[in-house]
Structure formats: C-alpha cells, structure tokens
C-alpha cells in the first residue's frame, strides 16, 4: 500500500480541528454550569445524600432565582409527593400544566405527574379525570396502568377489566389472574342479588381468561348450591384439589353443608378425611374435627387430632387436641387441662393469622386481595404457623 504525500499534510489539520471542537464543548459545559444557580447544585448534592428536606429548600431557592427551569419544577413536585406533601406537589404540577410556554411533551409529563399527585392524595375522581386525558397519547400505557389501580381501589370491576384490556399485549397477559378475579367479583355481586344468569356469564369469562381460577370454581359451586343442585356443586368444588389444594379449606364447609342436605354426611366426612391425609391444613383439620366431634364423638375427634399432630406438630393442632382431651377427661383433671389450654391458646393467637406471600402483611381473615400491597391471590388460606414450619 502506497502512502500519498498529501496525507502527511492532512493529519495535522485533523488534529487541529479535533482540538478546536473539544475546546468549544468544554467552554459550553463551563458556560452552562455557571448559568445554573448554585442552590440547584446544592440541591442535587443533598438529594444524592438522601437529605430530602435540605434538597427541597435548595430547589425552592433555585426556582425563585430562575422560574423558567421546567425540569427543576418537575423534580421539586416529585420530591413533595414522595414526602407525602401532596398539596404542594399538586400546586407545583398544576402551575406547570397552566403555563403557556410548555411544549406538548412537557405538558403531557406535567399531567402524568399531577395524576399521580391526586392518586397519592386519595382524590381518585380527579386522578381518573387526568389519566383519561392521557389516553391515546404517547403516555397511554402509563395512563392505563394508573387507571387500572384507580378502578381496583374504587371496586369498579367492569372499568378495571377495560383498563386491563388497554394494557400492552405483553402486560395484559400477565394480568390474567387479576382479570379473572375481577369477573369473579362481578359474579359474586350478581349472585348476591339472585341474578344467576349474569353470574354464570361472568364466571364463564373468568374461566376463559384463566382455566385454573380456583375462585371461579368456588363461586360456580355456590351458584349451583343456590339453585339446589348440590351434587353438581360438590363435583365443581372437588375440582379445587386439582387446581390448587391449598384452597381446599375454603370449600370444606361448603362440601359438608351440601352432603348434609343430601343426607350423606358420612360420605362428606370420608372425602374431607382423605383430603386432610393428602393435603395437611390447619383450617381443613378444624372442619374435619368439627364433624368428627358432632357425629363420632369426642373420643374419635381426639384420636383424629392426635394422629394429625404426630404427622404435623403445631400449636394450633395441640390446641385442638386439648379441646378434645377436655371433653374426655375426668372431672378432677379438667381444671389442669383447661389451664394448659388457655396458655396454649394465648400463643396460638399470634400464629393463627394469614400472611401475604408478597409483602408479609398479616390478617385474621382470609382475603382474595391483600389490603396492603393489593396483590390478588397472595393470601393462601394457610396459617402463619404452617409457613414457619414448612421446610
């Protein structure tokens, strides 16, 4: 390869042009940094050090010096909302929305921030109105997610379903479990008002979204029981074992009620005992114990709990064993057993709660949706003691 002589003349020129471009960039950066208020840089420093109070004071001072700093207004409003000062955040973002010198992109951003302020403040109707304005814009996906949260808080399940359908395809697939629960909520409301056909349509939609929806099977069984079709209701409730056996405790009482109406209590007891043997559960044990005590007597109930306690030693199981022992004990021993039972019962109250598998929030009653984190089906009907003893 031959080297042309003029290349040697061009190389110094290229180096000179590169040096000149670097100098221009450096001067621009220096100029911009000097143009920024010193309080702005101080605010950033405080923010990086997680000193939000001092950061807010510094940013407020910077805004006073240069009211045209749009991004600073956004940062300040977000800080207010994060601190729980929603009134100040709303005023800050509302002032941005009202400004005439904002670009379309900045106005959309300001509206999104304002909607989040209203949502954080619990002003759901105002938040909904703001996010509806963002539909069919570049922020449509963000608006749909916030609208979905709003409709769940308002328990407007029909609108929640529509909002979920408006999510991007890859996100709407992830919401199948939740949407199935929305249809179950609608079915439960319809069933409570004796609108059985409407309830059935909603349940069909729930199964179409999620064939393994345990809740839909439970409500469908309730629907058939309401129509006095007890054999069919029992068969539907039996599906729960193949869907998720953790939820068998929720249908145990229903199963026994249906068998009792059909005058087949012994058959129901046999079914529950087989479930308890295959899928140990404290709530299921409680139901089996109740019927064993009522139909077979205290001795049979004692033997049942003792055997289960050997397989799965728990304080709640011991509490049941003492309850059965108290019924079988001679009169002179009952006071001692009662004393032990009271001591055990005092400890069982703190392990007899349900716990959310997502956030760990505990509650005394089973719920399909966690009141803390809002997760659906994160509250399996298992007591905290069972979780603690699980390998």
Number of DSSP helices (H) and strands (E) in the chain, helices first: 21, 2
The lowest-confidence range among 57-71, 137-151, 223-237, 348-362 is 57-71
**Domains in the chain, start-ordered, CATH in brackets?**
68-164 (1.25.40.10), 168-243 (1.25.40.10), 245-352 (1.25.40), 353-391 (no CATH)
Tokens of 105: 């992109």
pLDDT digits (tens, 9 = 90+) for 177-207: 899 999 999 999 999 999 999 999 999 999 9
Residue 135 has pLDDT above 50, yes or no: yes
Per-residue pLDDT at 156: 94
* Cβ-contact 180, 213 below 8 angstroms: yes
Per-residue pLDDT at 24: 41
Tokens of 285: 């044990």
Q: Is 116 helix (H, G, I), strand (E, B) or coil?
A: helix
Q: Which residues contact 387 (CB under 8 A, 6 or more apart)?
A: 355
Tokens of 389: 């003893």
d(C-alpha 106, C-alpha 116), whole Å: 15
d(C-alpha 217, C-alpha 245), whole Å: 13
pLDDT digits (tens, 9 = 90+) for 46-75: 544 555 555 555 555 544 434 456 676 777
Element (H, E) at 345: helix 331-348
Kindly report the average pLDDT of the chain as a whole number.
78
Q: Which residues contact 168 (CB under 8 A, 6 or more apart)?
A: 141
Residue 101 has pLDDT above 80, yes or no: no
Q: Is the dihedral of CA 175, 176, 181, 187 positive or negative?
A: positive
**First and final CA of the chain: distance in angstroms?**
73
- pTM (2 decimals)? 0.74
- Return the percentage of the chain with pLDDT > 90, whole number: 31
DSSP tag of 101: S
d(C-alpha 383, C-alpha 389), whole Å: 10
Residue 140 has pLDDT above 70, yes or no: yes
Q: What is the dihedral of CA 287, 292, 294, 297, to 10 degrees?
A: -150
- Helix, strand, coil: what percent of the chain each, to 5? 75, 0, 25
Which residue positions form the known binding site? 356, 359, 370, 373
Tracing tokens 């984190």 back to the chain, one arrives at 373
A 10 A CB-CB count for 9 gives: 9
Which residue positions form the known binding site for Fe cation? 356, 359, 370, 373
Query: Of residues 349 and 103, which shows the higher confidence score?
Result: 103
Per-residue pLDDT at 25: 43
């Amino acid at each position: 390869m031959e080297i042309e002589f003029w290349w040697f003349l061009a190389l110094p020129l290229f180096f000179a042009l590169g040096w000149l471009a670097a100098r221009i960039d450096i001067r621009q950066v220096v100029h911009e940094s000097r143009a920024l208020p010193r309080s702005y840089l101080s605010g950033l420093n405080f923010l990086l050090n997680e000193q939000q109070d001092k950061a807010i004071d510094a940013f407020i001072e910077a805004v006073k010096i240069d009211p045209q700093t749009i991004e600073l207004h956004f940062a300040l409003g977000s800080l207010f909302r994060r601190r729980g000062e929603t009134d100040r955040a709303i005023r800050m973002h509302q002032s941005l929305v009202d400004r005439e010198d904002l670009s379309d992109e900045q106005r959309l951003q300001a509206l999104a921030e304002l909607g989040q302020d209203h949502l954080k403040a619990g002003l759901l109707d105002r938040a909904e109105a703001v996010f509806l304005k963002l539909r069919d814009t570049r922020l449509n996906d963000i608006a749909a997610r916030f609208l979905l949260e709003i409709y769940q808080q308002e328990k407007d399940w029909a609108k929640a379903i529509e909002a979920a359908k408006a999510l991007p395809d890859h996100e709407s697939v992830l919401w199948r479990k939740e949407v199935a629960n929305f249809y179950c909520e609608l079915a439960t409301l319809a069933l409570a008002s004796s609108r059985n056909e409407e309830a059935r349509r909603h349940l069909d939609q729930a199964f179409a979204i999620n064939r393994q929806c345990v809740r839909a099977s439970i409500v469908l069984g309730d629907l058939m029981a309401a129509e006095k079709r007890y054999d069919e209701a029992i068969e539907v409730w039996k599906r729960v074992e193949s869907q998720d056996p953790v939820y068998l405790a929720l249908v145990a009482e229903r199963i026994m009620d249906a068998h009792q109406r059909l005058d087949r209590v012994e058959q129901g007891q046999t079914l529950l005992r087989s479930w308890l043997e295959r899928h140990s559960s404290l709530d299921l044990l409680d139901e089996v114990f109740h019927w064993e005590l009522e139909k077979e007597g205290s001795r049979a109930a004692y033997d049942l709990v003792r055997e289960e306690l050997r397989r799965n030693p728990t304080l709640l199981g011991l509490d049941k064993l003492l309850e059965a022992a108290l019924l079988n004990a001679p009169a002179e021993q009952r006071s001692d057993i009662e004393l032990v039972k009271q001591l055990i019962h005092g400890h069982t109250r703190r392990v007899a709660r349900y716990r959310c598998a997502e956030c760990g929030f505990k509650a005394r009653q089973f719920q399909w949706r966690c009141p803390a984190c809002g997760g659906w089906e994160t509250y399996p009907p298992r007591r905290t003691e069972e979780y603690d003893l699980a390998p």
